[in-house]
Structure 1
């Protein structure tokens, strides 16, 4: 239990950074969707560009982050690992940025944004800058410095938002008030407004690199070729896995542009609605992000220091499933409130939110289960599982997007992640057995989904938002009481929660 408390503490700090940073960043969603300058089609163009960026981030970093943690655990010469991984990413980031810049017309066609070359150029700059910050952030995580990690992450988002508001609110207002002011040099009404969003992002990434300056360059320019070859042997399958994972996560926004007609901006509008509604899975995605930040180094250290790490992994997964099940209910049952996070013109896509939440739950569980192939150095297995998921994503979207638009993308996302979760569990139990209480955890998820449907049926008979919210509170409390009663012995081991449970249960 002490190790789980340690993970909870790290997850808390990484959660503070991840949740605070991404929540502040999510504030851009209502700002942009409610903005008079940005149409649904404009938002769809931004969605397409931000779907492409993670794909290239996966290529530019080629699994080096996970590889860094793996080799820092097994190699006694930590400085050599730091220097070699840093130099490797420095060289490849520069080379790949130049190659992508020379082939930007191809990237423009891939994102269906050939008419907006400036968006593509700014995206390439963002990709290159973000790749250079990968190892510095990994070092902060490995060295157990979550507060500094949090500070820099939050600073990045604040700078991003500051520049975005400056470009899209202050400059237009200044130019309108005084046509001869300096603002007309920066803001031009004939420029796609998403250009300013990406420019703000690029400036924030540059500032982040400056804040990480101490760790961006190696302490010594010594490159261990033998070590690098070993790292690449571990890393390249992770590249395939990460690339496949990114395809599963973001590729559907690109495919909507490929397989929907874009007459009068229809495809862009559909991408905009889908991208805005995807943001409503904020609670689960933020928690998963925070959990991953703390869990990856934690799992590797447990394998080294614990006599029975499998038991710890099983308990961590149990608490994870309980947490995301509660979050699923918080989002779905309070959707009449959450929907105001985006403008009303995007509400047509709210029907896909529960599907996307279940998809993200499956993805989070998969991250827990995937530790088996990372610890056993069978990263090709992770690549294979992810490629299966990618194939499911592409096939379902290809056949059903023309008829069902983004609804097909939502179901493809769920079926992809659910399949990966099941395959990883079955395969992993044969290779590296972990005593997961899978029947109980599956029951928790099914009960949460049934509660959602029950709430929908009951509130459907009486269309009143106050009644709906009151029933939501009642159902969530009932679900939490049920969980506490079933897992009473587990929760009693936590100091503060345990005292409350002993007193009231």
Structure 2
């Protein structure tokens, strides 16, 4: 399992490198062509789109993941996949028709300004295409076609970025150009994906298979809504208490923090199908603990580097109007990690007790909501970031506790908690340096370099594992 994980994880991470790299490239584009108010409106539309993607198709992709991967009959696999595709197509099409008819009303409800209705209609088309693309892209994961998954991700990313830059920057189309870029990328992804899955998606539909998948995924719907509330209640409440401009600044901070998803995509993409295929093997829990330990080491180093250099990064890639976003990054980075780390707590899905997810995520949403309610009026966007961090930490903690009771994994919690505390203190110290820019940059760089050995001292990576890597590299690349 470990060998397969590292191989597939590297492949899944490749498109993420391209995507996150282009995200850095598009930062200046967004901040040059969009004011904080425009970006705030765009961010609210993204919130709405993600809610639709989570709920309209009843999370049927999760049902495919659960039953397709363990099914041995090739014909039945095709029925599972095809049924999910046709069901999703109908759901997203009905949503699009409804949204176009009531676009003015929905725009007023979302943005308190009906003049954005044309933008909303364009984004509705993107939601339709993107929802189908997500289903199609995930199918490559369930078929263990990691290289095709990587290729389609890169194609969509390059198409989206290319069209967006040309239309938004060179033709001065602004937010319209960015939306046409999103639509183009999703469309190309759907066409390319369907062509490569032409032997999987066929004119087959079985209501009994649909019922089986939805029975598994249905409990995830209220859970997904709770996840949505945890993920986006901050922006909705910032818009309520503050303004769309503050939403835009916070959104840029979240966008910078979300770059840490680069690490998570490789882990999630490779790990989920491997767990479903190997959970009943004796060594799987031990392997999962090792993978989590490696992940923690990488995550803490990324957290430290991105946190202490957040202001410098924003100074380089954005306009002065967005620099205040640096104050939220240190809280949002661990929040993004926590929101994705459920993959390391697979007990609930392995035992098919997905009803637990409802209570966990609803509890997290409630914690997040109450904290935002208290902290935003007092601390502004920093309060929203703190609330998001605590809310996601709560969800991951409860998720892990329940998962450990259902499927025990031998994690070393004391050393993990100690490592989190140490790196958190170092990051906080790094953020206090605000005087001379060049001098502080060198100090921060020195701090980052000197903390590298900490991952070994704190036993996130063992000395013998470092030696094994050294011997492998020496033998593989430097031996005659």
TM-score by length of 1: 0.86
How far the C-alpha of 1:394 sits from its partner, in A, is 2.1
CA distance in structure 1 between the partners assigned to 2:232 and 2:91 by the alignment: 24
C-alpha distance in 1 between matches for 2:84 and 2:146: 21
1:405 CA displacement: 2.8
How far the C-alpha of 1:332 sits from its partner, in A, is 1.7
> 1:190 maps to which residue?
none
Name 1:165's counterpart in structure 2. Answer: 165
Alpha-carbon distance in 1 for matches of 2:86, 2:287: 35
- The question of whether the paired residues in 2 share the 8 Å contact of 1:336 and 1:465 is answered with no
Contact 2:258-2:336 within 8 A present in 1 as well: no
Q: Distance in 2 between matches of 1:293 and 1:110?
A: 36
Do the aligned residues in 2 keep the contact of 1:132 with 1:209 (CA within 8 Å)? yes
Range with greater deviation from structure 2 (273-282 or 247-256): 247-256
Partner of 1:292: 268
**Would you say 1:397 and 2:378 are equivalent positions?**
no
Unmatched 5+ stretches in structure 1: 173-186, 188-192, 261-266, 501-505
- Structure 1 segment 15-54 matched on structure 2, within 5 A: 15-33=13-31, 35=32, 37-54=33-50
Candidates 427, 439, 443, aligned match of 2:414? 439
Q: CA separation in 2, counterparts of 1:497 and 1:359?
A: 36
Provide the residue aligned with 2:352 in structure 1: 377
> Residue 477 of structure 2 corresponds to which residue in structure 1?
none
Secondary structure of the residue aligned to 2:115 is coil
2:216 maps to: 234
How far has the Cα of 1:330 moved from its partner? 1.1
Match of 1:354 among 330, 335, 340: 330
Partners of 2:65 and 2:273 within 8 A in 1:
yes
1:456 and 1:222 map into 2 onto residues whose CA distance is 57
Query: What displacement does 1:410 show?
Result: 0.6
1:94, 1:135 → 2: CA distance?
14
Local SS of the residue matching 1:70: helix
Tell me the CA shift for residue 14 of structure 1: 0.9
In 1, Cα distance between the equivalents of 2:13 and 2:5? 11
Tell me if the contact between 1:160 and 1:204 (Cα under 8 Å) persists in the aligned partners: yes
1:40-63 CA-partner distances (Å, limit 9, x unpaired): 211211121122211111113422
Task: Note the C-alpha offset of 1:270.
Answer: 0.5
Residue 178 of structure 1 aligns with which residue? none
Contact 1:259-1:398 within 8 A present in 2 as well? no
Following superposition, the deviation at residue 214 of structure 1 comes to: 1.9
Question: Equivalent of 1:201, from 182, 190, 198?
Answer: 182
Please point out which of 459, 478, 503 is paired with 2:450.
478
CA distance in 2, matches of 1:239, 1:85: 16
* CA deviation string 1:120-146 (max 9, x = no partner): 111111111112223321221222222
Name which of structure 1's ranges 240-249 and 117-126 shifts more when overlaid on structure 2: 240-249
Report the alpha carbon displacement of residue 376 of structure 1 after superposing the two structures with TM. Answer: 0.7
Match of 1:488 among 454, 462, 468: 462
CA distance in 1, matches of 2:57, 2:263: 23
Displacement of 1:349 in angstroms is: 2.5
Quote how far apart the aligned CAs of 1:495 are: 4.0
Partners of 1:332 and 1:452 within 8 A in 2:
yes
Q: CA deviation at 1:488?
A: 2.5
Contact between 2:311 and 2:323, CA under 8 Å: does it hold in 1?
A: no
**Which residue, 298, 319, 325 being the options, matches 1:343?**
319
Contact 2:223 2:358 in 1 (8 A): yes
Note closer, same or farther for the CA distance 1:115–1:428 as it changes in structure 2 (3 Å cut).
same
CA distance in 1, matches of 2:233, 2:430: 33
Mapping for residues 408-447 of structure 1, pairs under 5 Å: 408-447=383-422
Matches of 1:376 and 1:480, distance apart in 2: 38
- C-alpha RMSD of the superposition: 2.4
Query: Alpha-carbon deviations, 1:16-35, whole Å to 9, x = none?
Result: 112312331342221120x2
Report if aligned partners of 2:70, 2:276 keep a CA contact under 8 Å in 1.
no
- Please say if residues 330 and 476 of structure 1, whose CA atoms lie closer than 8 Å, have aligned partners that are also in contact: yes
TM-score by length of 2: 0.90
Bigger mean CA offset, 338-347 vs 269-278: 338-347
SS in 2 for 1:133: helix
Assess if the C-alpha contact under 8 Å between 1:491 and 1:497 holds in 2.
no
- Aligned 8 A contact 1:118 1:195 in 2: no
Residue 142 of structure 2 aligns with which residue?
Answer: 142
Q: Are 2:347 and 2:402, in contact at CA under 8 Å, matched by a contact in 1? A: no
User: Does residue 330 of structure 1 match 2:305?
Assistant: yes
Shift of the 394–228 alpha-carbon distance from structure 1 to 2, 3 Å rule, reads same
After superposing the two structures, state which structure 1 stretch, 315-324 or 396-405, moved more: 396-405
Moved more, 482-491 or 23-32: 482-491
Match of 2:438 in 1: 466
Please state whether the residue corresponding to 2:153 is helix, strand or coil.
helix
Question: In the superposition, relative to structure 1, how do residues 213 and 429 fare at CA in structure 2: closer, same or farther (>3 Å)?
Answer: closer
Q: By how many angstroms is 1:456 displaced?
A: 4.0
1:222 maps to: 204
CA contact 1:321–1:365 (8 Å) conserved in 2: no
CA distance in structure 2 between the partners assigned to 1:380 and 1:12 by the alignment: 33
Which residue pairs with 1:6 in the alignment?
4
Tell me the distance in 1 between the aligned counterparts of 2:417 and 2:264: 18
Q: Provide Cα deviations, 1:268-327, integer angstroms capped at 9, x if missing partner.
A: 1101111112122144122123322222112212215x2232112211111111110010
Answering whether residue 241 of structure 2 is matched by residue 259 of structure 1, we say: yes
